Amino acid sequence: MYIKDLFDKKTVFSFEVFPPKKTSSIDVIYSTLDELQGLSPDFISVTFGAGGSGNSRYALEIASRIKEGGITPMLHLPCINFTKAEIDAALEDAQQRGIENILALRGDINPDIPPVEDFRHASDLITYIKSKGSFDIAGACYPECHPDAENLVEDIINLRKKVDAGADHLITQLFFDNDHFYEFREKAAIAGINVPIEAGIMPVVNKNQIERMVTTCGASLPGKFVRIMTKYEHSPEALRDAGIAYAVNQIVDLVASGVDGIHLYTMNNPYVARKISEAVSGIIGA
Ligand code: FAD
């Protein structure tokens, strides 16, 4: 099933998982997948390392397993460190496994790995995949601007290139202040971007995540969020519950504001995904 066909019918609710480390067996994720599949999301996407992580081969196997469990999978595919032949191999493998949905990405540029020049931007990859004709293609977008772009206007002009190349729908980077999403959505509409945009929501439920957020993702942390995290950072259970409640609040507001979909960064944590799914099931379906 093509994910693009869902947006006309409903507010899409999807999950994201990542493959286990290359030192772990792939089996460690299977019980997580079983639990996530039981929550009946519209699709589950699987991340794919842009290069160097060594666990990329797991991504296709996990996507196959999701399909076998009766849920539509989406394979992330970053291009910056892959040759055209490697991308062809991944797409052929996906096709043979019946995986029809691809999130086409550039990937982060790793200073230790010189980029392969076959595809420089996600838009190049999207054009290429589109020419093959048989995939639903999603792209990534950044309500608070991608860190490489000078400003949000430049980033949205570049996003338009992705959509013009054939992206059928978009998924945002995580954000903690819905107003950033609303401003971005309005600017994207002014730029003529009229494909569905799913909001990426990350429930922050442990202290390590907070530290990673601050240093790597570039999302701004609103005062309300910082107050909650500071108050509960030394109490794991309270922090988990507060993180879940914060994500639920974001989702309720987004759905009330007509968001096309919610993409939950599950961090492979079925407990958190279940609590959030239960809390919003009536709202998403309303
Ligand atoms: P691009 O669209 O190429 O954008 C990168 C920069 O180039 C931006 O500043 C943009 O403004 C500019 N740009 C874009 N197109 C053009 C153009 N045609 N001409 C000139 N400039 C242009 N990374 C992984 O490695 N694996 C994953 O599985 C993964 N999953 C992700 C899922 C989501 C939902 C998101 C939001 C990100 C994900 N990432 C993943 C991270 C992503 O790869 C990085 O953010 C990366 O730095 C940019 O990828 P992109 O596809 O947005 O790149």
- The per-residue pLDDT for 214 is 67
Torsion of CA 232, 262, 17, 45, to 10 degrees: -170
pLDDT of residue 26: 86
User: Would you say the CB of residue 76 lies under 6 angstroms from ligand 1?
Assistant: yes
pLDDT at 93 (0 to 100) = 95
The sign of the dihedral angle between the CA atoms of 231, 276, 141, 179 is: negative
Q: Which of 80, 105, 267 to mutate to test the pocket of ligand 1 (most atoms within 8 A of CB)?
A: 105
* Residue range(s) defining the domain that contains residue 236: 3-285
What length is written for the chain?
A: 286
Hunting for tokens 């013009």 — which residue is that? 164
Query: With bands split at pLDDT 50, 70 and 90, how would you rate the model's confidence at 55?
Result: low
DSSP-assigned states of every residue in 195-234: S-EEEEE----SHHHHHHIIIII-----HHHHHHHHHHTT
Question: Is 175 in a helix, a strand, or coil?
Answer: coil
Give the CATH number, domain containing residue 29.
3.20.20.220
Per-residue pLDDT at 123? 98
CA of 247 to the centre of ligand 1 (A): 24
Catalytic: which of 16, 100, 144, 198? 16
Sign of the Cα torsion 244, 273, 177, 240 reads: positive
pLDDT at 54: 58
- Largest Cα separation within the chain, whole Å, is 52
User: Residue 86's pLDDT is what?
Assistant: 94
Ligand 1 atom 14, closest CA:
158
Please give the Cα distance from 13 to 198 (Å, whole number).
9
Q: Which of 111, 272, 263, 268 is nearest to 201 (CA)?
A: 263
Distance CA 44, CA 63 (A): 8
Q: Does 52 have pLDDT greater than 70?
A: no
Residue 21: pLDDT band with limits 50, 70, 90: confident
Facing residues of 199 across strands?
A: 262
Question: Does the annotation count 233 as an active-site position?
Answer: no
161 lines ligand 1 (CB under 6 A): yes
Position 32 scores a pLDDT of 95
Please say if the pLDDT value at position 274 is more than 60.
yes
Distance CA 262, CA 13 (A): 5
Q: Work out the burial of residue 230: count CB atoms within 10 Å of its CB; fewer than 13 is exposed, 13-18 middle, 19 or more buried.
A: exposed
Which residue minimizes the CA distance to atom 39 of ligand 1?
A: 107
Q: What is the mean pLDDT of the chain?
A: 94
How do residues 181-191 score in pLDDT, each as one tens digit? 999 999 999 99
pLDDT interval class at 212 (50, 70, 90): confident
Q: Are 74 and 43 in contact (CB under 8 A)?
A: yes
Q: C-alpha distances in angstroms, 149 versus 119, 124, 157?
A: 18, 17, 10
Higher pLDDT, 22 or 132: 132
Predicted local confidence at residue 218, as pLDDT: 76
What is residue 240's predicted lDDT score, i.e. its pLDDT?
Answer: 96
Q: What's the pLDDT at 22?
A: 77
Instruction: Say if residue 81's pLDDT is above 70.
Output: yes
At 11 the pLDDT is 97
Number of domains in the chain: 1
User: Which atom of ligand 1 has the smallest separation from the CA of 50?
Assistant: 25
Ligand 1 contacts CB of residue 106 (under 6 A)? yes
Distance 121 CA to ligand 1 centre (A): 7
- Whole-model pTM over 0.95: yes
Residue 23 reports pLDDT greater than 90 = no
Residue nearest to atom 32 of ligand 1 (CA): 140
